[in-house]
């Protein structure tokens, strides 16, 4: 969802549960999407990417789903662990097949995992 | 170890002073970026460079300047013209062609506070 002012969307889950983090994008020309994880006081780290010719991509404990019809992206984390607690950002690149590789980041979602 | 090194980690500045944030990478990446992050916000692109001696303005370049004299280095100067410079600044690098062009490698960030 949208963040308002200084407040990030937040998601609180129990350890071991699955987490789903959502992201809406608005640029119809975006054809490459990436999820990043940012732990407190650190720089973001790449998690997984997906191109627009795919609907789903799986990694280790993570799955990204892309719905181009409604311009929606989600990140699913299986068996969420305390180490997964972080801010998660989606990012998009329009017309990535050309020379453009300038990412636009979303505002982020704060995931808190309760032991 | 390969990576991105930003310095200083914390910096305090008086109003009216210019400050320069250092960013060095030994990943042999052609592209480098500077992002600004404010509390509860996503990352906003300040400047980026695809090749030595060339750089482009991002979405919020006003009050900032950069140089790219060496492939490994992309320093950012926050000038006195930047009206609200207190923020967390992140430097990143990436490949330009092939592989995961959306995969940015970030430094640990520099936190600038204007007194």
Å between B65 CA and nearest CA of chain A: 18
> B100 to chain A: which residues are within 8 Å by CB?
34, 46, 49
**Closest Cα of chain A to B43: distance in Å?**
6
Closest A-chain CA to B57: A102
Does pLDDT of A14 surpass 80? yes
Which pLDDT tens digit goes with each residue over B34-61? 999 998 788 999 999 999 999 999 999 9
Which of B40, B92, B100 lies nearest to residue A5, judging by beta carbons? B40
Q: Biggest alpha carbon distance in chain A?
A: 45
Q: Which of residues 74-113 of B touch A (CB under 8 A)?
A: 90, 92, 94, 96, 100-109
What pLDDT score was predicted for residue A61?
96
Q: Is A79 left (phi over 0), alpha (psi -120 to 50) or beta?
A: left
- How confident is the model over B54-82, as pLDDT tens digits? 999 999 999 999 999 999 999 999 999 89
Q: All domains of chain A, ordered by start, with CATH?
A: 29-96 (2.60.40.10)
pLDDT(A75) > 90: yes
């Amino acid at each position: 969802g949208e963040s308002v002012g200084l407040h990030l969307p937040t998601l609180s889950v129990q350890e071991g549960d699955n987490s789903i983090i959502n992201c809406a994008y608005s640029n119809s020309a975006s054809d490459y999407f990436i999820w990043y994880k940012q732990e407190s006081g650190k720089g973001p780290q790449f998690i997984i990417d997906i191109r627009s010719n795919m609907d789903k991509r799986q990694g280790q404990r993570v799955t990204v789903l892309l719905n181009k019809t409604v311009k929606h992206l989600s990140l699913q984390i299986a068996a969420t662990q305390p180490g997964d607690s972080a801010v998660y950002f989606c990012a998009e690149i329009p017309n990535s097949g050309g020379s453009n590789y300038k990412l636009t980041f979303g505002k982020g979602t704060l995931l808190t995992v309760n032991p | 170890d390969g990576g991105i090194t930003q310095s200083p980690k914390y910096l305090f500045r008086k109003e009216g002073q210019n400050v320069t944030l250092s960013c060095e990478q030994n990943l042999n990446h052609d592209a480098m970026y500077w992002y600004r992050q404010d509390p509860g916000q996503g990352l906003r692109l300040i400047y980026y460079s695809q090749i030595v001696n060339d750089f482009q303005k991002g979405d919020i370049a006003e009050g900032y300047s950069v140089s790219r004299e060496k492939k490994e280095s992309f320093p950012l100067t926050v000038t006195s013209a930047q009206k609200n410079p207190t923020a967390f600044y992140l430097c990143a690098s990436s490949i330009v062609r092939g592989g995961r062009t959306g995969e940015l490698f970030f430094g640990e960030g520099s936190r600038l506070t204007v007194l």
